Amino acid sequence: MLHIKSLDEGLDIFKALGSEVRIEIIKILLENHGMNMNELASKLNITNGALTSHIKKLEDCGLITVSSESRGHGNQKKCSVHLDKILIDMDSQEDFKNVYQTDLKVGHFSDYKVYPTCGLASNTAIIGEVDDTRYFAHPDRYNADILWFTRGYVEYVIPNFIPFEQKIDQITISLELCSEAPGVNDVWPSDISFILNDKKVAMWTSPGDFGNVGGIFTPDWWYPNWNQYGLLKILVINKKGTFIDGLQVSDVSIKDFNLDYRSTMKLKLEVEDDAKHVGGLTIFGKTFGNYNQDISVRINYSPIIVPEAAKQEASKTTLGYEADEV
Assess whether the previous peptide bond of 117 is cis (omega < 30° from 0).
yes
Q: Is the pLDDT of residue 22 over 80?
A: yes
Q: Is the pLDDT of residue 73 over 60?
A: no
3-class state of residue 18 by DSSP: coil
Confidence at 1, pLDDT banded by 50, 70, 90: low
Q: Is the pLDDT of residue 123 over 60?
A: yes
**Amino acid (one-letter) located at 24:** E
User: What does the domain layout of the chain look like in residue ranges?
Assistant: 2-81, 91-303
What pLDDT is recorded for position 212? Answer: 84
Average predicted confidence (pLDDT) for the chain: 90
Confidence at 74, pLDDT banded by 50, 70, 90: low
CATH class of 2-81: mainly alpha
CATH number attached to the domain at 91-303:
2.60.120
3-class state of residue 79 by DSSP: strand
Phi, psi at 95, each rounded to 5°: -70, -15
What pLDDT is recorded for position 20? Answer: 92
Residue 83 near residue 89 (C-beta atoms within 8 A): no
Q: Which pairs from 216-224 meet CB under 8 Å and 24+ separation?
A: 216/65, 216/289, 216/290, 217/286, 217/287, 217/288, 217/289, 217/290, 217/291, 217/292, 218/287, 218/288, 218/289, 219/123, 219/124, 219/287, 219/288, 221/124, 221/125, 222/121, 222/288
DSSP code of residue 278:
-
Q: How far apart are CA 63 and CA 80, in angstroms?
A: 9
Residue whose C-alpha is closest to residue 281's, from 292, 295, 271 = 271
Cα pseudo-dihedral 229, 105, 295, 228, rounded to 10:
0
Q: Is the pLDDT of residue 290 over 60?
A: yes
Residue 105 CB neighbours (<10 A): 16
Q: How far apart are CA 319 and CA 326, in angstroms?
A: 11
Confidence at 324, pLDDT banded by 50, 70, 90: very low
Q: Identify which of 48-62, 85-99, 163-177 has the greatest average pLDDT.
A: 163-177
Q: Is the pLDDT of residue 53 over 60?
A: yes
What pLDDT is recorded for position 12? Answer: 86
- Measured distance between the N- and C-terminal CA atoms of the chain, rounded to whole angstroms: 67
Could you check whether 2-81 and 91-303 share the same CATH topology?
Answer: no
Residue 143: partners with Cβ closer than 8 Å, 6 or more residues away? 107, 122, 127
Least confident window among 61-65, 102-106, 121-125: 61-65
Q: How far apart are CA 290 and CA 252, in angstroms?
A: 30
Q: How far apart are CA 121 and CA 62, in angstroms?
A: 26
- What are the beta bridge partners of residue 303? 166
Mean pLDDT of 130-157: 98
Work out the angle at residue 123's Cα, subtended by the Cα atoms of residues 158 and 194, and round it to the nearest 5 degrees: 30
Q: Beta strand pairing status for 2-4 and 86-88?
A: parallel
Least confident window among 14-28, 81-95, 201-215, 261-275: 81-95
DSSP code of residue 96:
G
3-class state of residue 142 by DSSP: helix
DSSP code of residue 162:
P
Residue 138: partners with Cβ closer than 8 Å, 6 or more residues away? 127, 128
Residue 242 CB neighbours (<10 A): 22
